[in-house]
A and B are shown apart, each in its own frame.
Chain A
Amino acid sequence: MFLDSLADRLPVLAAYYAGKNAAQFADFAVSAGPRGIYEFLTLNKWLRPWGGPHREDSDMKNLVLGRNPAYGAIAARSLTYIAYYVFNVFKEMRRKPDLFVWHEDLISPEIFHAMGLVPFLVEAIPIIMPNINSEFTEHYIDVAENSGYPGDTCTLPKTAIGMALDDAFPPPKAIVTSNSPCDGGMASYAVMEEKYKVPVFRLDLPYNFGEKRAQEYYLREIKRLIAWLEEVYSVKMDYDRLKEVCEERNKMWTYTMDLWDLQRSSPAPMGGEAMVYGHLSFPLGSGTKEGTRLMKDLLRLAHRSVERDGGGIKDERHRAVLWNPPPLVFPEMFVWMEQEFGAITVMDMLTFRRNQWIDTSNEDVMLRDLARTLSYGPMAQHTRGPCENFFDDLFYLYESFSADMIIMAAHKGCKNTGALMGMFKELCRRRSIPLLVFEYDLSDTRYMSPEGIRRQVSDFMENIMGERR
Chain B
Amino acid sequence: MKYFAGCDVGSTTGKAVVLDEGGKILGHSMLPSTVDPENTATEALNRAIAQVNGNIGISDMERIIGTGYGRIELQFAHDNISEITCHAIGAHYLDPEIRTVIDIGGQDCKAMGLRDDGHVLDFVMNDKCAAGTGRFFEGMGRAFSLDLEEFSRLSLESKNPIPISSQCSVFAESEVISLISQRKSPADIAAGVQKAVAKRLQGLVRRVGIVEKLTVTGGCAKNAGLVKAVEEGLKVKVARLNLDAQLVGALGAAVLAMRG
Partner of A463, one of B80, B85, B207: B85
Residues of B within 8 A of A425 (CB): 122, 207
Residues of B within 8 A of A364 (CB): none
Task: Mark A441-469 against chain B: 1 for CB-CB distance below 8 A, else 0.
Answer: 00000000000000000010011101011
Residues of A within 8 A of B113 (CB): 429
Say yes or no: is B125 at the interface (Cβ < 8 Å to chain A).
Answer: yes
Residues of B within 8 A of A426 (CB): 209
Say yes or no: is B73 at the interface (Cβ < 8 Å to chain A).
Answer: no
For the complex formed, measure the closest distance between the CB of A313 and the CB atoms of chain B, giving whole angstroms.
24
Partner of A429, one of B85, B88, B122, B125: B122
Say yes or no: is B84 at the interface (Cβ < 8 Å to chain A).
Answer: yes
Q: Whole-angstrom distance between the alpha carbons of A426 and B121 in the complex?
A: 12
Say yes or no: is A161 at the interface (Cβ < 8 Å to chain B).
Answer: no
Say yes or no: is A74 at the interface (Cβ < 8 Å to chain B).
Answer: no
For the complex formed, measure the closest distance between the CB of B65 and the CB atoms of chain A, giving whole angstroms.
11
Say yes or no: is B123 at the interface (Cβ < 8 Å to chain A).
Answer: yes
Partner of A459, one of B72, B80, B84: B84
- Decide if B85 touches A435 in the complex (CB within 8 Å): no
- Decide if B82 touches A429 in the complex (CB within 8 Å): no
Q: Whole-angstrom distance between the alpha carbons of A343 and B52 in the complex?
A: 43
- Decide if A429 touches B209 in the complex (CB within 8 Å): yes
Residues of B within 8 A of A422 (CB): 207
Q: Contacts A426-B209, A429-B113, A464-B120; is A459 near B125 (CB within 8 Å)?
A: yes
Task: Mark A298-333 against chain B: 1 for CB-CB distance below 8 A, else 0.
Answer: 000000000000000000000000000000000000
- Decide if A463 touches B84 in the complex (CB within 8 Å): yes
Residues of A within 8 A of B80 (CB): 469
B189-213 at interface with A (beta carbon < 8 Å) = 207, 209
A342-359 at interface with B (beta carbon < 8 Å) = none
Say yes or no: is B79 at the interface (Cβ < 8 Å to chain A).
Answer: yes
Say yes or no: is B81 at the interface (Cβ < 8 Å to chain A).
Answer: yes
Interface residues on B, range: 10 to 19
Partner of B123, one of A429, A463, A468: A463
Q: Whole-angstrom distance between the alpha carbons of A464 and B113 in the complex?
A: 10
Residues of B within 8 A of A459 (CB): 82, 84, 123, 125
Residues of A within 8 A of B119 (CB): 466
Find the B residue at minimum CB distance from A461: B82
B80-112 at interface with A (beta carbon < 8 Å) = 80-82, 84-85, 88
- Decide if B122 touches A468 in the complex (CB within 8 Å): no
For the complex formed, measure the closest distance between the CB of B61 and the CB atoms of chain A, giving whole angstroms.
19
For the complex formed, measure the closest distance between the CB of A439 and the CB atoms of chain B, giving whole angstroms.
10
Residues of A within 8 A of B72 (CB): 469
Q: Whole-angstrom distance between the alpha carbons of A429 and B81 in the complex?
A: 24
- Decide if A468 touches B79 in the complex (CB within 8 Å): yes
Residues of B within 8 A of A464 (CB): 120-123
For the complex formed, measure the closest distance between the CB of A358 and the CB atoms of chain B, giving whole angstroms.
42
Task: Mark A421-447 against chain B: 1 for CB-CB distance below 8 A, else 0.
Answer: 010011001001001000000000000
Residue from B80, B81, B122, B209 with most neighbouring chain A CB atoms (10 Å): B122
Q: Whole-angstrom distance between the alpha carbons of A468 and B122 in the complex?
A: 17
For the complex formed, measure the closest distance between the CB of B128 and the CB atoms of chain A, giving whole angstroms.
9
Residues of B within 8 A of A462 (CB): 81-82, 84-85
Q: Whole-angstrom distance between the alpha carbons of A459 and B82 in the complex?
A: 7
Partner of B82, one of A432, A435, A463: A463
Q: Whole-angstrom distance between the alpha carbons of A93 and B123 in the complex?
A: 51
Task: Mark A125-155 against chain B: 1 for CB-CB distance below 8 A, else 0.
Answer: 0000000000000000000000000000000
Q: Whole-angstrom distance between the alpha carbons of A462 and B209 in the complex?
A: 20
Q: Whole-angstrom distance between the alpha carbons of A426 and B206 in the complex?
A: 11
For the complex formed, measure the closest distance between the CB of A379 and the CB atoms of chain B, giving whole angstroms.
25
Which 5 A-B pairs have CB atoms at the shortest separation, nearest pair first? A463-B84, A463-B120, A462-B82, A463-B85, A463-B82
17 further A-B contacts with Cβ under 8 Å, apart from A426-B209, A464-B122, A464-B123, are A429-B113, A429-B209, A435-B122, A459-B84, A459-B125, A462-B81, A462-B84, A462-B85, A463-B84, A463-B88, A463-B123, A464-B120, A466-B119, A468-B79, A468-B81, A469-B72, A469-B80
A-B contact pairs, 23 of them (CB 8 A): A422-B207, A425-B207, A426-B209, A429-B209, A432-B121, A435-B122, A459-B82, A459-B123, A459-B125, A462-B81, A462-B82, A462-B84, A462-B85, A463-B82, A463-B85, A463-B88, A463-B120, A464-B121, A464-B122, A464-B123, A466-B119, A468-B79, A469-B72
- Which residues of A are interface residues toward B (Cβ below 8 A)? 422, 425-426, 429, 432, 435, 459, 462-464, 466, 468-469
